[in-house]
């Protein structure tokens, strides 16, 4: 074996060794070598599976991406840390309808007012790991949607800030509902947050164009897949959908002027019905069962003591 | 302390040796009503409590066993409708078909029941003889009227929950929410009452353990009759004798 042959052998072996790495690197995303975690997340992204790369959202020069260390990508219109405006701009390039819906929402309104922690696309859909809605791991999956909203809406610090004043018990009170009880047992044809409050055009219930504005509730509940045939004058607004016993104080209210009309409908005369009926049943159940359990115990004991009935 | 046997106990032990007479406690009609009641009640409890206590470990077990949440709802609704039909049948039968005058039925509560109630308590403490009951003791009347009230409540609130958007054309949403409170709390009361009190009286009590066979045969032996319903027994015997002397 001469030297040339040995060199050729070594060279070909080297190529054989390098080739797989090379092919992996080619299929791979250049940013991987530094932003490993992010790219791993991105691999679960529906956009990655459809052929999009980092540069589609972050900008930068795509052509220089093939080298292993691709610092050149961070040039031109590259955005490292997208601002709230950047995010909606990027998403609107393709999802224009969703973005224009979103821009009517209270979330966008708050961002415009300078409260940048208000939700934008990525807060609900995920940042790098954007999955299809049907994917059970997706943040926006029907099963996960209550938890996704609760990330912010159960956060006391965020919600009790003076400019929001939104209650943080929205998930807890939703969990009182039949919708949640059915949902958690795998029955998907029930409403979660987005079904009533709308996913992109989320507006406060005080806004007359909101899906949760009292006058619009029959239409919202009466969607074709939900409660079709709900009549126009259905009295849904007279009562709190997000209800919980803790909302009710049981105080006697002789003057209900100025009270929230939705809460006022729980009152019959001065009585807060939900509160007092729950108490009535607590007392009734404890009384009746307690009395009869005593009776059973006495009955049983009397058989030993009196020894008459055997 | 040994005690001489009372006359009643002598009678009972005498009867045990020779008794062949049975007393009709329930007609076949009533037995079937009770059987349907048992079947629907148990189905409703199992499928309903899984939603009343959604965070319990057994809730998903039950829901998966009956075939998922939607199936659970279907089963609960079906059983509920059957129970409502049973209730309507019961009322129609006993008001319009049964020949006995409505106001003379022995199921109505009377003053004697309150007296019997106190006597029973005194009896438990050994201060009084066991009260003598007619056809229905105060406990049985309480069972019956408890179930009666419960079925009315559960039927009304259940229908509201089954058709919330029909209900909401007449009543505010707040009252639909109240219906869920009333329905589940009333159901819990009924379940506890049946499982503890009713089953004590007819299953667990040493007097009848393992069970009183009246719910299967509809009959009571003469011994049971003398012991549990002495007044009715005396009345029946008096009438039988009168018939003999005619």
Q: The complex's ipTM?
A: 0.85
User: Residues of B with CB below 8 A from A306's CB?
Assistant: 123, 126
Q: What is the pLDDT of residues A204-234, one digit of tens each?
A: 988 999 999 989 999 999 998 899 888 888 8
Looking at beta carbons, which pairs linking A126-134 to residues 24 or more positions away fall under 8 Å?
Answer: A126/A45, A127/A41, A128/A38, A128/A39, A128/A41, A128/A42, A128/A45, A129/A41, A129/A42, A129/A44, A129/A45, A130/A45, A130/A46, A130/A47, A131/A44, A131/A45, A131/A46, A132/A46
The answer to whether the Cβ–Cβ distance between B178 and A277 falls below 8 Å is: yes
Q: What is the pLDDT of residue A244?
A: 81
Q: What is the pLDDT of residue A232?
A: 84
Model confidence at A62: pLDDT above 90: no
Q: What is the pLDDT of residue B210?
A: 85
Looking at beta carbons, which pairs linking A100-103 to residues 24 or more positions away fall under 8 Å?
Answer: A101/A200, A101/A201, A102/A200, A102/A201
Q: Ranked by mean pLDDT, which of A8-17, A139-148, A229-238, B122-131 comes out on top?
A: A139-148
Give the minimum alpha-carbon distance from A163 to chain B in angstroms, rounded to a whole number. Answer: 30
pLDDT under 50: residue ranges of chain B: 1-2
At A267, is the pLDDT very low, low, confident or very high (cuts 50, 70, 90)? confident
User: Residues of A with CB below 8 A from B172's CB?
Assistant: 235, 238-239, 265
pTM: 0.83
At A47, is the pLDDT very low, low, confident or very high (cuts 50, 70, 90)? very high
Residues 72-131 of A with CB under 8 A from B: none
Write down the residue that tokens 């309150």 correspond to.
B114
Give the minimum alpha-carbon distance from B23 to chain A in angstroms, rounded to a whole number. Answer: 21
Return d(Cα A307, Cα A193) in angstroms, integer: 64
User: Residues of B with CB below 8 A from A236's CB?
Assistant: 168, 173
CA nearest to A243, candidates B63, B179, B159, B162: B179
At A23, is the pLDDT very low, low, confident or very high (cuts 50, 70, 90)? very low
Using CA coordinates, name the residue in chain A closest to B163: A227
Model confidence at A35: pLDDT above 80: yes
Give the minimum alpha-carbon distance from A48 to chain B in angstroms, rounded to a whole number. Answer: 35
The answer to whether the Cβ–Cβ distance between B196 and A292 falls below 8 Å is: yes
Q: What is the pLDDT of residue A24?
A: 44
Cα distance from N-terminal residue to C-terminal residue, chain A: 110
Q: Ranked by mean pLDDT, which of A34-43, A164-173, A176-185, A283-292 comes out on top?
A: A283-292
Q: Which two tokens stand for residue A55?
A: 């540069």
Domain coordinates in residue numbering, chain A: 249-279
Using CA coordinates, name the residue in chain B closest to A297: B124
Sorted by where each starts, the structural domains of chain B and their CATH numbers stand as 27-211 (1.20.950.20)
* Chain A interface test: which of B49, B131, B174 (most A C-beta within 10 Å): B174
Write down the residue that tokens 């938890």 correspond to.
A147
Return d(Cα A261, Cα A205) in angstroms, integer: 14
The answer to whether the Cβ–Cβ distance between A184 and B54 falls below 8 Å is: yes
CA nearest to A197, candidates A98, A106, A100, A97: A106
Return d(Cα B135, Cα B234) in angstroms, integer: 11
Return d(Cα A120, Cα A108) in angstroms, integer: 7
Q: Is A239 on the interface with B (CB under 8 A)?
A: yes
Candidate from A235, A303, A306 with C-beta closest to B173: A235
Candidate from A239, A278, A305 with C-beta closest to B174: A239
Model confidence at A27: pLDDT above 80: no
Listed in sequence order, the residues at least 6 apart from B85 whose beta carbon sits closer than 8 Å to its beta carbon are: none
Mean pLDDT across chain A: 84
How far from A141 is each of A127, A148, A202, A254, B105, CA to CA, in Å?
Answer: 15, 9, 17, 46, 60
Return d(Cα B70, Cα B76) in angstroms, integer: 10
Q: What is the pLDDT of residues B215-237, one digit of tens each?
A: 999 998 888 888 888 898 888 88
The answer to whether the Cβ–Cβ distance between B192 and A289 falls below 8 Å is: yes
CA nearest to B51, candidates A179, A280, A225: A179
Share of chain A above pLDDT 70, in %: 86
Q: Is A258 on the interface with B (CB under 8 A)?
A: no
Q: What is the pLDDT of residue A245?
A: 73
Candidate from B174, B192, B196 with C-beta closest to A266: B174
Looking at beta carbons, which pairs linking A280-287 to residues 24 or more positions away fall under 8 Å?
Answer: A281/B181, A281/B182, A281/B185, A281/B186, A281/B188, A281/B189, A282/B185, A284/B189, A285/B185, A285/B188, A285/B189, A285/B192
CB A211 within 8 A of CB A196: yes
């Amino acid at each position: 074996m001469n030297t040339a042959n040995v060199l050729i052998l070594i060279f070909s072996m080297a190529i054989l060794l390098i080739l797989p790495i090379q092919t992996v690197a080619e299929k791979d995303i250049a940013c991987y070598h530094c932003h490993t975690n992010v790219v791993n997340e991105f691999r679960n992204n529906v956009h990655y599976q459809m052929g999009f790369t980092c540069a589609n959202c972050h900008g930068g020069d795509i052509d220089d991406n093939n080298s292993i260390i691709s610092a050149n990508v961070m040039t031109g219109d590259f955005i490292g840390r997208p601002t709230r405006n950047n995010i909606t701009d990027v998403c609107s390039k393709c999802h224009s309808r969703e973005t224009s819906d979103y821009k009517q929402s209270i979330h966008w309104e708050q961002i415009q007012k300078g409260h940048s922690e208000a939700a934008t696309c990525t807060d609900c859909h995920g940042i790098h790991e954007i999955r299809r809605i049907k994917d059970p791991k997706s943040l926006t999956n029907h099963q996960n949607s209550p938890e996704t909203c609760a990330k912010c809406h159960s956060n006391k610090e965020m919600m009790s800030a003076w400019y929001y004043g939104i209650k943080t018990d929205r998930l807890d009170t939703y969990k009182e509902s039949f919708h949640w009880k059915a949902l958690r047992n795998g029955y998907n044809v029930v409403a979660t947050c987005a079904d009533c409050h709308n996913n992109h055009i989320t507006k406060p219930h005080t806004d007359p164009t909101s899906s949760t504005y009292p006058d619009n509730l029959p239409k919202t509940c009466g969607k074709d897949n939900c409660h079709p045939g709900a009549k126009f004058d259905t009295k849904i607004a007279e009562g709190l959908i997000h209800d919980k016993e803790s909302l009710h104080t049981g105080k006697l209210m002789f003057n209900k002027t100025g009270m929230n009309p939705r809460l006022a409908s729980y009152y019959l005369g001065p009585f807060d019905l939900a509160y007092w009926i729950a108490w009535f049943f607590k007392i009734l159940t404890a009384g009746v069962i307690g009395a009869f359990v005593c009776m059973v115990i006495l009955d049983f004991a009397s058989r030993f003591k009196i020894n008459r009935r055997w | 302390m040994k005690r001489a046997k009372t006359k009643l106990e002598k009678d009972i032990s005498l009867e045990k040796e020779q008794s062949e007479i049975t007393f009709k406690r329930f007609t076949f009609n009533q037995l079937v009503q009770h059987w349907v009641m048992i079947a629907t009640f148990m189905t409703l409890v199992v499928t309903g409590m899984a939603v009343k206590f959604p965070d319990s470990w057994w809730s998903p077990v039950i829901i998966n066993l009956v075939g998922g949440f939607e199936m659970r709802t279907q089963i609960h609704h079906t059983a509920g409708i059957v129970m409502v039909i049973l209730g309507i049948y019961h009322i129609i039968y006993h008001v319009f078909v049964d020949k006995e005058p409505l106001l003379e039925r022995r199921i109505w509560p009377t003053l004697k029941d309150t007296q019997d109630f106190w006597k029973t308590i005194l009896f438990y403490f050994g201060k009084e003889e066991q009260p003598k009951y007619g056809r229905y003791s105060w406990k049985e009347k309480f069972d019956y009227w408890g179930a009666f009230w419960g079925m009315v409540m559960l039927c009304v609130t259940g229908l509201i929950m089954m058709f919330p958007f029909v209900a909401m054309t007449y009543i505010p949403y707040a009252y639909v929410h109240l219906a869920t409170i009333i329905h589940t709390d009333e159901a819990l009361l009924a379940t506890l009452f049946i499982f503890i009190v009713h089953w004590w009286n007819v299953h667990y009590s040493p007097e009848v353990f393992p069970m009183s066979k009246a719910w299967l045969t509809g009959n009571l032996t003469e011994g049971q009759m003398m012991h549990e319903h002495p007044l009715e027994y005396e009345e029946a015997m008096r009438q039988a004798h009168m018939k003999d002397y005619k």
